[in-house]
A = this chain, B = another copy of it.
Amino acid sequence: MIKKPLGRPTDPQARAARRQQIMNGARKCFVQKGFHASGMAMISAEAGVSIANIYQYFETKNDLITALVEEELSNDLAVIQALAEAENFSAGIKIAISRLAEGSDVPAMVQLRLEVLAESFRDPAVAEVVRKGEALTIKALAEILTKAKARGEFTGDFIPEEAAALILAFSDGMLSRLPIGPKPMQELVEPAFSFIAKALGLKQ
C-alpha cells in the first residue's frame, strides 16, 4: 500500500523549484554586494519572493549562504569531472579553460569564489563545507592526473594529489586577479597553460 499523506500534500518539486528561485536571486545579490552587504530585502526583490517566504526554505540568512556555497562548489566539481572525459590531459585543460572563458558570467563566479574563500575564514561552518568540497575536487583532479600519468603524458614525476592541489591553487589565483590584472585574462591563458605544462613536464 502506497502511503497516503494526510493534510495538505506538499509538492516536493514545487518546493525545490522555489528554493532554486531564491538561491538564484541570492546569487545575483551576493555577486554584486557580497554576503554581508546584501540584505534580505534585496534578495527577496531579486528573487521575486517575499522576505518571509525565504524563511520557509532557509532558517537563517547564514543557511542561505551555506546552501549557495555548496551549490557553487558542486559546480566547480562538475567542471573538473567534465575534464575527465577528454582524451588526454592537455585537451582536458583546454576544454576547461574554454568552458570558463566562454561562460557568460565568469566574473560573477570569481566574485562568488572570493566571497566564499573570505567567508570560510570567518564562519567555521562554511569552512567545513568548503573543505569537503575542495577535497572532492582535488581527488577528482588527482584521478585524472593519475590516469594521464599512466598514459605516459608526462615526463616529470609528481604526486597527483599534490599536483592537483597546486593546479587548483594556481587556477584560483589566476581567476581572482581578474579585476586587477593589467592584462585581460585572455592574454594570460596561453602562458598559464604553458606554466602548468612545464611544471608538470607535459610532453610536447
Contacts from A to B (Cβ < 8 Å) = 7, 32-34, 36-37, 50, 107, 110-111, 114-115, 117-122, 127, 130-131, 134-135, 138, 156, 158-159, 162-163, 165-166, 168-174, 176-177, 179-183, 188, 191-192, 195-196, 198-201
Contact = CB atoms under 8 A, between A and B. Distances in A.
A127 B176 CA distance: 12
Contacts of A134: 177, 180-182
Q: Is the interface of A mostly helix, strand, loop or mixed?
A: helix
A114 B121 contact: yes
Contact of A117 (B174, B180, B192, B201): B180
23 contacts: A7-B50, A32-B122, A34-B36, A34-B122, A107-B121, A111-B118, A114-B117, A115-B118, A117-B179, A118-B118, A127-B179, A138-B182, A156-B198, A159-B191, A162-B188, A165-B182, A166-B188, A169-B192, A172-B172, A172-B176, A173-B173, A173-B174, A173-B176
